[in-house]
Amino acid sequence: MNKRRRKYLMGMAVALLLVWIIADATNEPGVQDLPGNFEEVALYRNENNTGPIIRIYAVTLTDTLWSEMREYGNFMPHTKYGNTKVFFFRKGSPVPAKVTPGTENFSPELKKYVLAAYEKDAMGTVSFRKYPFL
């Protein structure tokens, strides 16, 4: 009877551990949990899957929540030796319909509407600038 009870307790412990792991895995925080109503309006990702992957995002939000903007950038995918850029615009202001690679990622007329720029470079160094084009 003692062996049977031990097996039962071990089974319960394993079941509880599995439930805890599954619950923890399904409750991961993400961009949807951030305040500010972030909305991705434009995205560029190069086709290169063997070398550095370049990602550029244009995102709108309802308020200038600097820490949430930085957190949003941290949630964006980044690949080792790649580069990720996120440009933040206030919702309702002119925004780029398309972003492109290179030194000019969108039309120069829209630079005055950029609230902040987040960049994670090839070595994983994060840069966050408020009003980067003013």
pTM of the complete model: 0.81
Distance CA 107, CA 38 (A): 21
Report the distance separating Cα 37 and Cα 49, nearest Å.
31
Q: Between 52 and 130, where is the model more confident?
A: 130
Residue 94 token pair: 């002119």
State both tokens at 84: 């990720």
Reported as a single tens digit per residue, the pLDDT across 75-102 is 998 888 899 999 999 999 999 999 999 8
| pLDDT per residue as tens digits for the range 26-39 | 777 777 778 888 99
Position 74 scores a pLDDT of 92
Q: Could you report the per-residue pLDDT of 42-68, keeping only the tens digit for each?
A: 999 998 777 789 999 999 999 888 999
pLDDT at 24: 83
> What are the start-end ranges of the E strands in 19-113?
39-45, 54-61, 83-90
Is residue 87 within 8 A of residue 57, CB to CB? The reply is yes
